[in-house]
Amino acid sequence: MRIIVIALTLVSATLAGTTVYFARELQLERERPHATPAPVTQINPATPARLSLPAAAPRATTKPANDSPSAVAGNEEDMSRAQAQEGRRILKALADPEQREDLLIESKLNLRNSYPRLAQVLGLTSEEADRLFTLLAQQQIDSQEGYSRCMVDPNCNIRDVNINQPDLRAQEIADLLGADRQQQFEAYKNTLMERESVVQLRNRLPDASPLPDDRAEALIAVLADERQKIHMEAAQRGAGMNGYGSGVGVIFSASDAPTAEAQIASAQANSRRMHDRAAEVLNTHQLRVFDQMQEELMISMRNQVRRKQDLASTTS
């Protein structure tokens, strides 16, 4: 149920009314020479990876406190009605050409903000970048539409939407980027977490100690490499990693840490590893600012762990 609610919330947020900011940006976007969506072309279903909403669970998988058959059935019916109503609302909005265009442009604006320096990293011209963001936004709209049609169909399992729904844009993206840049794009998406942290770091650095683009890319690479190593080591012992995030990034703690103290110790050890890798790229002052951000993450993580402990003690 929680996953369904999250997915519905994301869809609703995307389809919410346009703000004054977006009203201005929508006009600017409409004036771009390539803002009009291109026609759909036939694609190879085997083409990899699209952006989509998080996979949602099947309908009504959570039982209420009163788990009698009648209560469960009533809860399932209420959930199904709510999902169907939301799906019909979304489909109605997407069926309106003007609303669909506005939603497409809003998705493009959000993607531009979510993918910092994508054009520079992939070596795209401004026209290629605009075309790529249009296709990515169309993917999101297609995915939202597919989920919504499933929500109004009582015989549809939301888990199967990504499997059964063809990606109408993947081949166009592959053709636009070519093999090398497609591979670079996949690598770029795998480093979004580190890119956000580096953006925050660059914003904090004084003008006297800037972080040039090439060094920023090097820092992103070493941080992503260390994150992957941390996760691989956990996987080798049959565990995972819990992420604790704030506005300056994410810090990881081993999921098999048995106590709160062990969770914090694990996060501190991983933070030290990130410090050591960052030291390969940053100068002394830059590294000091990086460490401040890591300490802020540790404070946030400790507060989250304590709140979880307090909640567990009050409900036990």
SS3 for the chain is CHHHHHHHHHHHHHCCCCCHHHHHHHHHHHCCCCCCCCCCCCCCCCCCCCCCCCCCCCCCCCCCCCCCHHHHHHHHHHHHHHHHHHHHHHHHHHHCHHHHHHHHHHHHHHHHHHCCCHHHHHCCCHHHHHHHHHHHHHHHHHHHHHHHHHHCCCCCCHHHHHHHCCCCCHHHHHHHHHHHHHHHHHHHHCCHHHHHHHHHHHHHCCCCCCCCHHHHHHHHHHHHHHHHHHHHHHHHCCCCEEEEEECCEEEEEECCCCCHHHHHHHHHHHHHHHHHHHCCCCCHHHHHHHHHHHHHHHHHHHHHHHHHHHHHHHHC
CB distance 52 to 140 below 8 Å = yes
| pTM summary value | 0.67
At 96-142, the pLDDT tens digits run 999 999 999 999 999 999 999 999 999 999 999 999 999 999 999 99
- Intervals of the chain under pLDDT 50: 1-64
pLDDT for 163: 66
Q: What is the pLDDT of residue 40?
A: 28
Q: Where in the chain are the domains?
A: 2-178, 192-315
Residues in the chain: 316
Residue 247's pLDDT is 72
What are the two backbone dihedrals, phi and then psi, of residue 288, each rounded to the nearest 5 degrees?
-65, -40
Whole-number Å distance between alpha carbons of 314 and 316: 6
- What pLDDT was estimated at residue 3? 40
Work out the mean pLDDT of the chain and round it to a whole number: 79
What distance in Å separates the CA atoms of residue 296 and residue 125, rounded to the nearest whole number?
38
Q: What is the pLDDT of residue 309?
A: 82
Q: Yes or no: say if 255 and 239 are a contact pair by the CB < 8 Å rule.
A: yes
